[in-house]
Amino acid sequence: MTERDFGAHLSLRSLLLAIAVVAVWGTNFVVIKIALGSLPPLLFAALRFTMVVVPALAFVRRPAVAWGELARYGLLIGVGQFGLLFIAINGLIAPGLASLLMQVQVVFTIGLAMRGTGERLAPVQYMALAMAIGGIGVILANTGGTTTPLGIGITLLAALSWSLGNIVQRRAGRIDMLAFVVWSSLFAVPPLFVLAFVFEGAPAIGHAVATAGIGVWAAVAWQAVGNTMFGYGAWGWLLARYPAAAVAPMALLVPVFGMGAAAIILHEPLPAWKLAAAALIIGGLAVNIFGPRIIRRSAITPAG
């Protein structure tokens, strides 16, 4: 890592853009919860990715990636991440907590990457891992009401699917991330519709579609346009212009927006244990991001 990686700063315009992206990604958990009041979760996920595919394929060129990689990413993100996440938020876990637990994908991604390369964790990363696990433990110790052990387990599986998708995306190399997401969504739509018909049933699907109001369709469209096209497009634009070290830490704000929006809009309570869990998980992720860089920087900084 070079000195430029440590010293790069986002311009004011880029900083505001990054904040806008993480605000969209964080508050999106509230949008999901509201839409699930009218749509079954698997149908909701299928419609989300349909709205990504249908308009975008007309103007987004397919990335130079093998079809197999697109299929793997589409299944992991569409069915694994969002299919499971929507099921969990549908009465099994509070959306604010879901936004927090999903960030554990960073831990999973590091573990999977190291398993593939044979690398070992640095001592500071062990501390980061212990903090994140401690945060999960606090949540498990306070289940009940809107958060259940099953919901926590399903959300962690969704985070694991996200991390596996990250491995597929990294293997694809430097690509247009928006195009990658759009074209991979082709492989998410059919299995999501099949699973919706099998587990939710044609009558429930027909009733949900027939009775959905404009607000529900706006929520589905927001999943495609705001969360996917704007979010991934803007994030890719930032990563193309700045080192990842300058952009990636902004993602730590996702659960802050998620938990804040859930508290304000859905009146989700924020007891001390929930704040402690957030501090441990976000703190662990921060230690993982900044710890190794600070150590490397101190090693290359001349004494005195």
- Using an 8 Å Cβ cutoff, are 21 and 248 in contact? no
Within a domain: 282: yes
For 147, the 3-state DSSP assignment is: strand
Structure confidence at residue 245 (pLDDT): 66
Structure confidence at residue 196 (pLDDT): 97
Distance CA(217)–CA(33), nearest Å, equals 14
Mean pLDDT per 10-residue interval, the chain, length 304 residues? 47 90 93 95 96 86 92 95 96 93 83 70 80 90 85 95 87 83 94 97 95 93 89 82 75 90 93 92 84 68 54
Within a domain: 265: yes
- Structurally, the chain folds into a number of domains equal to 1
Within a domain: 163: yes
Within a domain: 130: yes
Within a domain: 108: yes
Q: Which residues contact 144 (CB under 8 A, 6 or more apart)?
A: none
Structure confidence at residue 193 (pLDDT): 97
Within a domain: 304: no
Within a domain: 143: yes
pTM over 0.85: yes
Show the domain range for 119. Answer: 3-299
Within a domain: 196: yes
- Integer angstrom CA distances of residue 208 from 1, 44, 189, 219, 262: 52, 10, 18, 14, 24
Structure confidence at residue 119 (pLDDT): 65
Structure confidence at residue 3 (pLDDT): 35
